[in-house]
Amino acid sequence: MHWGFPALTEPSASPAGSLGIFEVRRVLDASGCSMLAPLQTGAARFSSYLLSRARKVLGSHLFSPCGVPEFCSISTRKLAAHGFGASMAAMVPFPPQRYHYFLVLDFEATCDKPQIHPQEIIEFPILKLNGRTMEIESTFHMYVQPVVHPQLTPFCTELTGIIQAMVDGQPSLQQVLERVDEWMAKEGLLDPNVKSIFVTCGDWDLKVMLPGQCQYLGLPVADYFKQWINLKKAYSFAMGCWPKNGLLDMNKGLSLQHIGRPHSGIDDCKNIANIMKTLAYQGFIFKQTSKPF
């Protein structure tokens, strides 16, 4: 189920004798207005007992105008608070995604006010997210020694939490990219039969930062870095609003607690993964958003 575009929906069939599934879908009401509504699907339908409980929990939220991004998170939170979380998770499988793995990436780079040029990557984290379970299976995480501006500015340390000792003596970007390739091979991600794609919070990481620094240093950019999913765009398709403040807005819109420190690359990756898992639970199918190079 893709919530990017409103559409009249039909209940999906379930095997005979199976327990029906309780879902929230975008539908058209009698006047043609788009609405979000919980529906019963499956031949056997949702058990009357659980449905009755769900109705009592959701109350006035059973039908809510489209365009209210808080609706899904409110409903999910209300159900979870009344013990529906585990049972719902057990009964509602993830929709089939287009990729075997999602590679969540979030760079941190040298910075200052006014901005320094060129910026250089100083933190290079990747989380390997299983496309079937949306769980983290493996982590790549390295700090990178900047060479043009080797001394971190106070502004950079305050923003990212990265201190000078964390980058001093670390591998260069060229060496880190070689280790990324080794990790990709070890994880089976270079197998042509395995579909994977990077996921970033915005286009900056793989459209601007990495290709820009590689061009400056005369390094090639691997093809797997040339396609990605911009989580901000995916979220806006799913929820109907643009997350102006990035991860903070997406966590708020989905009623999720922010993980770790903002602008920590590895913590930002964990937040991206958590947001993706939540959207997948709601039936969202992730698609490539970047344009071909």
Q: Annotated catalytic sites, by residue?
A: 108, 263
What's the start-to-end Cα distance of the chain, in Å? 29
Cα 90 to Cα 92: distance, rounded to the nearest angstrom: 6
Cα 161 to Cα 234: distance, rounded to the nearest angstrom: 28
- Nearest CA to 189 among 258, 104, 76? 104
Residue pair 126/140 in contact by the 8 Å Cβ criterion: yes
Cα 207 to Cα 234: distance, rounded to the nearest angstrom: 17
C-alpha triplet 67, 270, 174: angle, nearest 5°:
120
Q: Is 35 helix (H, G, I), strand (E, B) or coil?
A: strand
- DSSP, residue by residue, 45-63: -S-HHHHHHHHHHHGGGGS
Residue pair 130/137 in contact by the 8 Å Cβ criterion: yes
Write out the two tokens for 34. 């788009």
The residues that bridge with 37 in the sheet, in sequence order, are: 25
The stretches of 33-186 forming alpha helices (DSSP H) are 48-58, 70-81, 85-91, 154-160, 164-167, 173-186
Identify residue 172 by its one-letter amino acid code. Answer: S
Residue pair 171/144 in contact by the 8 Å Cβ criterion: yes
The residues that bridge with 23 in the sheet, in sequence order, are: 39
